[in-house]
Structure 1
Amino acid sequence: MKQHRYEVTLKHIADAQGNPSSYTDILSFNTYNHDDIFKVLEMIQSSQMLDDEAAKSFAVGLKLFSEVMLEHKELPLFKDFMPQFGQFMKALKQTVKTQKQG
């Protein structure tokens, strides 16, 4: 299967109390996805169901999670969750479609 390749970078800025981060490392890794995450983000943003920052976090998190789950679907943890995840994705697609039309 042909896949899109991505570099993900995460930097901790502040702790839960708003104090500057004590972490000096930046988490960076390469990953891949069968979907174009930027197009997924555009669809979620166009639905206006979430504000811009939440849409970015949701789209990236969802697609990173779902790709790992699909690649490891034989693991009991993911295998048991697949039916519910399928329902969630159908509901998400319907929500995005409805929001864009409305």
Structure 2
Amino acid sequence: MSTKSAHLFRISVEKIDGPADYAGTSAPLAFEVESHDDILAIVDRVRAGMAFTADEASALALGVKLLGGVVLTHRRDPLFADIQPALRGFIGNLKSRVASTASQGQWKESS
């Protein structure tokens, strides 16, 4: 259930090419995720601030945001003990790089 200050997103993954899976079908995957951040705005900033293709930057931003959300929600779970410090550092570095690129006026055109 969505809280007043949260954004609610539907994430969809659909196979568009490649061999069929073992059952001969590739049903799309869709799920909802709640975030205190606007994930689409984050994706836009990363796409604009990284020297990656638009698809790579989108996948990076979305993947990190989704992983970070699960890690934060389950921060006391021992499964995530090793990744928490590294993920915090990585996210900090990513934010710094995106901000640095933005402040230098080196916004990458989306492709």
Q: Shared fold (TM-score greater than 0.5)?
A: yes
Quick one: percent identity of the two aligned structures?
A: 25
Q: When the two structures are superposed, what TM-score results if normalisation uses the length of structure 2?
A: 0.77
- The answer (yes or no) to whether the contact 1:12–1:23 under 8 Å persists in 2 is no
Q: Which runs of 4+ in 1 moved over 6 A?
A: none
Unaligned runs of 5+ in 2: 105-111
Q: 1:69 corresponds to which residue?
A: 71
Q: Deviation string for 1:2-37 (max 9, x for gaps)?
A: 32111111111223xxx4664341111111112110
Q: Deviations over 1:28-53 (max 9, x none)?
A: 11111121101101111221322111
- How many pairs align? 99
| Distance in 2 separating the partners of 1:48 and 1:32 | 25
SS in 1 for 2:71: helix
In the aligned structure 2, how far is the partner of 1:92 from the partner of 1:50? 13
Q: Which runs of 5+ in 1 are unaligned?
A: none
1:56 is aligned to 58
Q: Identify, as 1 or 2, the structure richer in helix.
A: 1
| Aligned-pair CA distance for 1:75 | 0.9
